[in-house]
Amino acid sequence: MTSTKPRRSTWVLSGLLVLAVGLAGYWFIRHGWLHVQAALADDQTLYFEEAREKGLQSSRPEDIVRYIEGALNYYPTGTKQTTGSHLDRMVERARRLAVDDMIRHLQSKTGLDLGTDPQSWIERFGENRDQVDATNGSQPLRVETNTTSATTDSRP
């Protein structure tokens, strides 16, 4: 009878040891992943700060808008951070503050007030706007794909 008690206690202690090692491993991995996410967040916020500084140093609206586009397009929410997490909210706050500062700078440089929506500034000064003709401000010519030429028109 004395031999079953040490066996039972050995199994219980072994089970508790396995549970403790498993929990320690879980927390070790979780802490490591949090460290990786914090490093990624640091990288993102550093990028926004550098874009902000360069945007604020520029006097050309086209360049400032390019930095705004860069900040907006650099790893959108949910790509490096879990959407809605504390780190994601911190990264998005840094992005928003950098873009807002650059928009205020654009307003002071251009004298225009296109609002606080970055898209209105991108449409006005961005490279991908409808490629306005630089000579007269007109829209570019649209290339017709109709193969019928004016010389084959059968009208009298």
Full-prediction pTM beyond 0.85? no
Quick: pLDDT tens for 23-55: 888 888 888 888 888 899 999 999 999 999 999
Higher-confidence residue of 137 and 89: namely 89
- Where are the chain's structural domains? 40-126
Q: Exposure string (b/e) for 105-116, b if CB count within 10 Å is 16 or more?
A: bbeeeeeeebee
d(CA 19, CA 32): 20
Higher-confidence residue of 141 and 77: namely 77
What residues contact 132, with CB distance under 8 A and at least 6 apart? 138, 139, 140
Q: How big is the CA angle at 25 (ends 21 and 28), to the nearest 5 degrees? A: 135
